[in-house]
Amino acid sequence: MKTLCAAVLGVILALSGARLAGADDRMPKPIDAGSFDGTWYYTDPAYKIAIFMDRDPTGLLRVRYHVKTKGGSEYETDAGGYARSIDDDGNVVEVLFTTQLAGPNKMTGHYERTLHLKKKGKVVESADFEMYRAEGGRKLVVSYPVYTTEKTDPAGHTNKSSETDILRLFRKASEMVVDFDEIAF
How many other C-beta atoms lie within 10 A of the C-beta of residue 185? 13
The C-alpha angle with vertex 89 and arms to 42 and 74, in degrees rounded to 5, equals 35
Given pLDDT bands bounded at 50, 70 and 90, which one contains residue 152? very high
pLDDT tens column, 41-64: 999 999 999 999 999 999 999 999
Torsion from C-alpha of 185, 126, 93, 159, nearest 10 degrees: 120
In this structure, are strands 139-152 and 47-55 parallel, antiparallel, or unpaired? unpaired
**CA 142 to CA 129: how far, in whole Å?**
7
Beta bridge partners of 124: 114, 150
Are 144 and 128 a contacting pair, CB within 8 Å?
yes
pLDDT tens column, 138-148: 999 999 999 99
